[in-house]
Structure 1
Amino acid sequence: MERTRIAVAGASGLIGSALVRSLTADGHEVVRLVRRAARGADEVRWDPEEQYVDSAGLAGCDAVVNLAGAGVGDRRWTDAYKKTIRDSRVLGTAALAEAVAALDVPPRVFVGGSAIGFYGDTGDRAVDEDAPPGDGFLPRVCVEWEEAAAPAEEAGIRTVFARTGLVVARGGGAWGRMFPLFKAGLGGRMGDGRQYWSFIALHDEVAALRHLIDTESLSGPVNLTSPQPLTNREITAAMGRVLHRPALLPVPAAALRAALGEMAGDVLGSARVLPARLLESGFSFAFPGIEDAVRAAL
């Protein structure tokens, strides 16, 4: 990969910060989008909710990667927070897509964040990028999120949607919450444990994003998940083995619904998602299995 200038929105998040570290370590110039006044040439001010981007700072970028969005699991899904989840993704994507489309020399690729929440609850059925959206709040958000990138697509910019699964990492997301519980011997399956969780190691997530930037043949939706989705029961058993702790304390579905409200449906729902397009494009996973992914996170 030749040295390039890449703009990253959501650069302070779990995935964004790891991507910035990886790109910087390889000598690429990274421009971070920030919500305050820019403090140097490596920052660009933006305000996703106000749909403002200082687009002059994006000039000369070869790629723009948008990973910004309020954390889905950060708090209970009140109506107000559901609006925050949706607006932080849809309005921010629309603002960035319009900004890059208006540049005299646009970037060659726009990588938009998305999620396997697009597919909703798939039960035992394995799905790939050809599957239609599911029903419910998260599928609706994902559909709008991807549609918001239309200005970039219409301007002829190669546009890719990174439909990310559950990222196995210590620093945040579902695993950031699970590691302390399992280390304390308090881990266990959630509900009946038969729901599929489509995971990806943070290392592979970053490598896959860089693959999307580099691979000219890829556009449209690409699932960023391990090729080996497993049930929650299998994953929690693997966590117990790697951490040498019992995984015997199941969390009843009723307790999850009481604690999490509407978000419990996402935890108890099943998403058996396969990375068909990623594999077809020649991507190789470093940590495809859950035990390897957990060890890598530790």
Structure 2
Amino acid sequence: MAETIYDIAVIGGGPAGLSAALTGRIRNKSIALFEHMDFSLKLQKAHLVDNYLGLPQITGKGLMQQMSAHCLAHSPDLIKEKVVNIFPGDDSFTIATPKNIYNAKTVIIATGVVATALFKGEKEMLGRGVSYCATCDGMFYKDKDVAVISYSTEGEHEANYLDEICRNVYYLPQYKSELSGMRSGIEIINTKPRSIEGDSQVEKLVTEHSDIKVHGVFIIRQSDPVENVLPGLELDGEVIKVNRDMSTSIPGVFAAGDCIGKPWQIAKATGEGLVAVLSAISYLEKKANK
């Protein structure tokens, strides 16, 4: 996959990401659209949307289906994989998922907001026992004890993989769906995590009921804190800081939608996605003319 260098990588398939990908394809740019879930589950849960101009009284699911169908009809490369890291290079960005490595000349972040607050100790222990990708980091914990905190059924696959290589795996589901296909060696613990503790490395996961001694904690969310995916990205509080052209503190990286702040509205997100992709195209043109 590393041989193809896309013009633009769009991270996220909500209204902002789809808007960016659609206009990018209309402008004849090669687009990698990363969407590992099912196109903005947040919007799809809306019973009725009545403030999106031109489409009155539409369900959230119906609106999302129209948006995704319109965008995909213009054939961006849809990549159903979760982006876990973005690494800036001299002329392009390396984008890592649990399965592959991709390259793009520019990046548009449209990941929405992390629906859950970070755990106490999570940020401090990142890379020292805290991970967001079992496939990426699992081998570091071979024959050791780990916990998996998951907000979606995706975590079940991660836990099954870890159970093949780790000594003990503790699974803490934070969702209501019934578990299916879990390996028998995995211990299911239905409790809420509180904090991750340790000195130089993770030593235990503190929950509302007990302390679990582990060497590693894997946290599986629909989207990860963006500052952990792309270190060095400047924030404004808890959201990405952008200029009027949606550019961020990192040249070649743009952002749009809920991840850059309120109001969390569909019309705002689609407009920002449009601005972000036009700015990315302008950035590409300027680089090509140097």
TM over 0.5: no
Q: Specify the structure having the higher radius of gyration (Cα).
A: 2
Question: Structure 1-normalised TM-score?
Answer: 0.26
Q: Say which structure is richer in helix.
A: 1
Q: Which has the higher contact order (CA 8 A, sep 6+)?
A: 2
Question: Structure 2-normalised TM-score?
Answer: 0.26
